[in-house]
Amino acid sequence: MNFKQNSEDTLRVIIVGHVDHGKSTLIGKLLSDLNQIQEEKINDIKKICKTRGLKFEWAFLLDALKTERDQGITIDTTQIFFRSDRRNYVFIDAPGHKEFLKNMITGATSAQLAILIIDGLEGIQEQTKRHVFLLSLLGIKDVIVVINKMDLINYDKNKFADLEAQISKYLKSINIKITAIIPISAWNGDNIVRKKTLRWYKGKVLLEVLDQFKDNAVDHGMPLRFVVQDIYKISEKRILVGRVESGKLKKKSKYVISPSNTKVSIKSFEIWPKSTKNEYVTGECIGLELNEKIFVEKGNVLSEITRSPSLTNTFEARIFWFSNQRLRINKKYKIKINTTDYEIIFSKIKKIINIDDLTEKKNDDVEKNNVADVLIDSESILCIDNFELVNNTGKFSVIDQFEVVGGGVVKSASKSELIDSHIRINENVKSEDFFVNEIDRVLKVGHRPGILWLTGLSGSGKSTIAKEVEKKLFLKGYNIFSLDGDNLRQGLNRDLDFMPESRVENIRRTAEVASLFVSAGFIVLISLISPYKVDRNKARAIRPEVFKEIFIKASIEECEKRDVKGLYAKARSGRIKNFTGITAPYEEPNKPELIIDTEKNGILECSKMLEKFVEKEFGKK
């Protein structure tokens, strides 16, 4: 069956509801009444039913798996392509059993509209509420409700009205808009394509409601989010391939790439077959070439300069848990968001929500099929949005050992002050383009550039380890350079003291110099106490895609024993003010990419740990 040409945009519709309420039957009868099922196919199903001693079911037209026919349930998520006189459709038949909720959510992620089916005999069941609650989590706000099996209750007006009132109240409580509530008989085809004469029902049939539905999801007033899915090098072009998740992408506009927050502009759109369009909108997949030769990675986000995504490594989320294993606080999981995986931990369970009556309870025990509000900490900086602002960059899946164990949406991702906008984006300063760019240098040296930020107390061993690793990797052919805090304070940062505001500027300058080295294709080892988390986060945000925080761990007692420079003795006597660990605090990293404990390991072992880490993350291929 071919889709119509020159028709309206294809509408993707998911059908949800409790098991055996008639989802597959509804789709099968709809296709039959639209004459879009071959007679031979129907006859084949009838023969199979006769052989097995089963009553013919319209649902069998969709249940492609033998397991489904034997058990009479839909296990997988089935997609059905068809057309009406008005438009093209993709119907997604989602499983109703609790065990297959993960499949249902997979199907719902791409849908624009939902049909909720309710059995007129059984009424609203547990899974009915569970499914629509999940739809609201996934950003589907428009639902057509069909009350099925009306023929089995003699088209009872009062029974219909009672169910209509119940479901309307629940949908309103979770902010879902009801497009229509329709009494149907999926088996007979009443009020699906043709109207069943009922004196008390004056509404439209299902097909009319579908044909007239206007999708408001493509909102051109939304902030632009173009998520990079991959990067291809074709001849001299570096083409960023991705999808416009929201907003509008224009050729002549200025944009910013996050998380590095580098200003860029589009040189050309790359699409097959060739197109003369100068702008692309929500839902369109394209390739593009930038005028600027900068380092871009999978998962980076292109946005408007004044409406960029939040850059953060901690946020509040609402999750739905699939796994038989309970969620564990502080265990490492991965989330997949914006085409990329990130390591995270759940640092706090704020509350668990009862889907039936929407009551809340305080509980750290998140079990299978629970909905919970949680705090999430990430090891990397994420480019995300509050789900209510931009759905597609505000939802994610949770992965444990290659298995999807949950899904969620971002409830609160405040814009962290990780980027100093007046420094990173200045309209009066224009960058110069050079003939040799960062990509050229990477290709020549054969390894990725990177920043290894060694933080720890004075005397912990930062400089010693950095010098040893620099020597080893240099002899292996790496472009590598050490930036040491003491050396920088004798030159570039000689005008800075050790007061908090000067420490902030010391770190900023060092990070900017490191960024220049990265652009030159170098791996940079930075040995800097950098005592405050917020300042290290700002340093990371300058080049987050290549930044690795290394915690050189040693106790204050051990460092004071070593005191190779005599600094602790001076601090104790009051001759050095604001000395970290004595008269000024040191904030240990929460989630460094690597911890090297110099109390438990010798210098050679510690150096080997860092050397292996560098080769793994940035090494020659």
Helix (H, G, I), strand (E, B) or coil at 464: helix
pLDDT confidence tier of residue 423, bands split at 50, 70 and 90: very low
219 within domain boundaries: no
| Angstrom distance (rounded) from CA 451 to CA 503 | 19
Residues 291 and 175 in one domain: no
Q: What is the DSSP letter of 194?
A: B
pLDDT confidence tier of residue 283, bands split at 50, 70 and 90: confident
Residue 145, pLDDT above cutoff 80: yes
**530 classed as catalytic:** yes
When pLDDT is averaged across residues 137-142 and rounded to a whole number, the result is: 78
- Count CA within 13 A, CB hemisphere, residue 502: 10
Helix axes 101-108, 126-137, angle to 10 degrees: 40
pLDDT confidence tier of residue 75, bands split at 50, 70 and 90: very low
| Angstrom distance (rounded) from CA 184 to CA 179 | 16
Predicted local confidence at residue 166, as pLDDT: 92
Residues 495 and 564 in one domain: yes
Residues 51 and 75 in one domain: yes
When pLDDT is averaged across residues 244-260 and rounded to a whole number, the result is: 86
Helix (H, G, I), strand (E, B) or coil at 613: helix
| Angstrom distance (rounded) from CA 136 to CA 176 | 7
Dihedral of alpha carbons 504, 505, 508, 510, sign: negative
Q: What is the pLDDT of residues 51-70, one digit of tens each?
A: 766 666 655 655 543 334 44
Rounded alpha-carbon distances, angstroms, from residue 209 to 89, 144, 183, 531: 13, 8, 13, 61
When pLDDT is averaged across residues 300-316 and rounded to a whole number, the result is: 88
CATH number at residue 246: 2.40.30.10
Q: What is the pLDDT of residues 443-494, one digit of tens each?
A: 778 888 999 999 999 999 999 999 999 999 999 999 999 998 888 888 888 8
Here the tokens at position 388 are 């209510």
63 within domain boundaries: yes
- Containing domain of residue 14, as a range? 10-212
218 within domain boundaries: no
Could you list the beta-strand ranges (E) of 367-519.
371-384, 395-400, 403-412, 450-455, 480-484
Residues 54 and 133 in one domain: yes
| Number of domains comprising the chain | 4
Tallying the residues shown for the chain, one arrives at 621
Q: Of 113-122, 273-282, 414-423, 569-578, which range is least confident?
A: 414-423
Residues 165 and 261 in one domain: no
Q: Which residue has the tokens 């560098």?
A: 614
Contact call for residues 483 and 513 (beta carbons, < 8 A): yes
Residues 570 and 508 in one domain: yes
Q: Which of 135-144, 145-154, 366-375, 569-578 has the highest mean pLDDT?
A: 145-154
Contact call for residues 259 and 313 (beta carbons, < 8 A): no
Of the residues 84, 463, 530, 607, only one is catalytic, namely 530
| Angstrom distance (rounded) from CA 45 to CA 50 | 9
Could you list the beta-strand ranges (E) of 225-331.
225-234, 237-246, 248-250, 254-258, 262-270, 279-281, 285-290, 301-304, 310-321
Residues 398 and 376 in one domain: yes
The angle formed by the CA atoms of residues 440, 444 and 449, to the nearest 5 degrees, is 75
Residues 345 and 285 in one domain: no
Q: What is the pLDDT of residues 567-613, one digit of tens each?
A: 898 988 888 887 888 888 888 988 899 999 999 999 999 999 999 99
Predicted local confidence at residue 474, as pLDDT: 93
Q: What is the pLDDT of residues 355-386, one digit of tens each?
A: 666 677 777 788 887 888 899 988 777 889 98
Q: Of 54-63, 149-158, 410-419, 450-459, which range is least confident?
A: 54-63
Residues 54 and 190 in one domain: yes
284 within domain boundaries: yes
273 within domain boundaries: yes
Predicted TM-score of the model (pTM): 0.60
515 within domain boundaries: yes
Residues 59 and 148 in one domain: yes
| Angstrom distance (rounded) from CA 558 to CA 301 | 44
- What is the rounded average pLDDT for all residues in the chain? 81
Residues 203 and 337 in one domain: no
| Angstrom distance (rounded) from CA 378 to CA 172 | 34
| Angstrom distance (rounded) from CA 332 to CA 590 | 13
- Please state whether beta strands 360-361 and 340-353 pair in parallel, antiparallel, or not at all (unpaired): antiparallel
When pLDDT is averaged across residues 335-347 and rounded to a whole number, the result is: 89
- Please state whether beta strands 285-290 and 547-553 pair in parallel, antiparallel, or not at all (unpaired): unpaired
When pLDDT is averaged across residues 524-548 and rounded to a whole number, the result is: 86
Residue 552, pLDDT above cutoff 90: yes
Omega before 544 cis (within 30°)? no
Predicted local confidence at residue 621, as pLDDT: 60
